[in-house]
Amino acid sequence: MDKFFSVIRSIGVRRGPERWLGGVCGGLAAKFGVDVAWVRLGYLLFCLLTGPALVVYVTLWLLLPDSKDDRIILQGFLQNRGAK
């Protein structure tokens, strides 16, 4: 499982410090060098498609490492669950 999270970290996308919720839009904006407002607008337009938008956001929130401490939420959850 650690190899999976290493691959995700190697992609180079991090949840950004410009956060409204989880920092996903801020991280994508930083990676692609665009203003976070454009990414948020694109996401809002994507939300009009209904269905996949929330699933994609939550999945990215769980999988993208934090820009502050490189922590991946899903990895921490799985490690805590396995320690019990």
Mean per-residue pLDDT pooled into runs of 10, the chain (84 residues): 85 80 88 92 84 84 90 90 69
Maximal CA-CA distance, the chain: 43
Residue 18 is predicted with a pLDDT of 75
Q: Which residues are CB-neighbours of 13 under 8 A, at least 6 positions away? A: 27, 28, 31, 64
Residue 13 is predicted with a pLDDT of 83
Q: Residue 40 CB: number of other CB atoms within 10 A?
A: 17
Its pTM stands at: 0.61
Residue 83 is predicted with a pLDDT of 66
Residue 74 is predicted with a pLDDT of 92
Residue pair 25/37 in contact by the 8 Å Cβ criterion: no
